[in-house]
Amino acid sequence: MRLRLLTPRSGGNKAVNTRQRHYLLAGAVCAMALSFTAPLHAENSAVLRFDTPLAITDNADFDRDNPLEPDSSSFILLDASSLSSDSGERWALVALQNDAGGQRILRDDYLVAEFANGDRRHASNLEGSFAAGEQQRKMAFFGYHRFPILRVFTQQ
C-alpha cells in the first residue's frame, strides 16, 4: 500500500495534510515503542521468581523403584525456597549448616530436588567450603524442568 501525502502544491487541503502527518508520526512512534518492548518481554523469560510455597503435610511418596537420594554428608538444610523462570529454569535458595567438627566442602550430590511429577535431580555447579558449624546461603541450580520443585533435601 502506497501512501501519498497531499501537499499544498498539489492542491490539497492544509488541514488534511497536517492530520495525515500526525497519523503517520503517531504510527511511527507506536511501531518504535513496540520494537523496544518486544526484546524486554523476551528477556523477562529468564527472570527468576520465588514459587508459591507449599505445605505438604502427608508422608506420601511417589511410586518409584530406585529413588535418587542425596549422598551422606554433614550438611543440614535449614531452609529452602524454590525459584523458577518462565523458560523452565529451576533453582533453590538454600540455607545450609556444616554440622561436622571440621571444615567441609559442599558438593552437588549432597542436595536433591524433588519435582511435582516425582522426578528427582542433584544440584549443579554447587560449590563452597564451610568451617565447622558455619551457616551459608547458596543458590542451587537444578536444571530445566516442566514441573516446579516440591522440596529440596539433604541426607540428614
106 burial (CB, 10 Å; 0-12 / 13-18 / 19+) is buried
Q: What CATH code is assigned to 49-153?
A: 2.60.40
Per-residue confidence (pLDDT) for residue 107, from 0 to 100: 96
Spans of all domains in the chain: 8-44, 49-153
The tens place of each residue's pLDDT in the chain, 156 residues long, gives: 555 555 555 555 565 566 666 666 666 655 665 555 545 545 677 899 999 887 766 667 788 776 899 999 999 999 999 999 999 999 999 999 999 999 999 999 999 999 999 999 999 999 999 999 999 999 999 999 999 999 999 998
What pLDDT score was predicted for residue 4?
56
Q: What's the pLDDT at 11? A: 53
> Which residues 6+ apart lie within 8 Å of 151 measured at CB?
56, 80, 113, 114
Identify the pLDDT of residue 115: 93
Note the pLDDT of residue 13: 58
Predicted TM-score (pTM) of the model is 0.69
The neighbour count for residue 111, using CB atoms within 10 Å, is 28
State the Cα–Cα distance between residues 108 and 119, nearest whole angstrom.
Answer: 17
pLDDT of amino acid 54 = 75
CB 136, CB 130: distance < 8 Å: yes
Nearest CA to 132 out of 81, 60, 76, 50 is that of 76
**pLDDT reported for residue 76:** 96
Alpha-carbon Rg for the chain in angstroms: 28
Position 93 scores a pLDDT of 97
